Amino acid sequence: MQTIHVTVTDYEGTEHRLDGLEGWRLMEVIRDYGLPIKAECGGACACATCHVYVAAAWVEKLAPKTADEELSLDDAMAVQENSRLSCQIILSPEHEGLHVTLAPNP
């Protein structure tokens, strides 16, 4: 399994370089590093509490949103064009250097 390096910007604007493994959900990596992401449904695409903003350079490089992800994002706060659920981003070598920002989460 290959290590994938991603950068996550937290609520205070601090960037964190995280190491994840190929095949892991981005949400799992963020949670395992102790960053403040709720991820209440554990990756089932049912709660939108793992909402992130994907850096502009990466939006087109990710797989398109599924209908389930679009539906879950309807319940999220402050949704933008670059909003994604981190539980739906499965890390692969193509994601090396991915940059996301944690979205507001009440």
Give per-residue pLDDT as tens, 51-89.
999 999 999 999 999 999 999 999 888 999 999 999 999
d(CA 84, CA 70) in angstroms, rounded, equals 9
Q: Which residues contact 78 (CB under 8 A, 6 or more apart)?
A: 103, 104
The widest CA-to-CA distance across the chain, in whole angstroms, is: 35
Domain map (residue ranges) of the chain: 3-102
Dihedral in degrees, nearest 10, Cα atoms 104, 56, 95, 15: -50
CATH 3.10.20.30 fits 3-102, yes or no: yes
What pTM, to 2 d.p., does this model score?
0.93
Measured between alpha carbons, how far is 44 from 14 in angstroms, rounded to an integer?
28
Q: What is the pLDDT of residues 18-34, one digit of tens each?
A: 999 999 999 999 999 99
For 32, the 3-state DSSP assignment is helix
Q: Which candidate, 12, 23, 88, 91, places its Cα nearest to that of 52?
A: 88
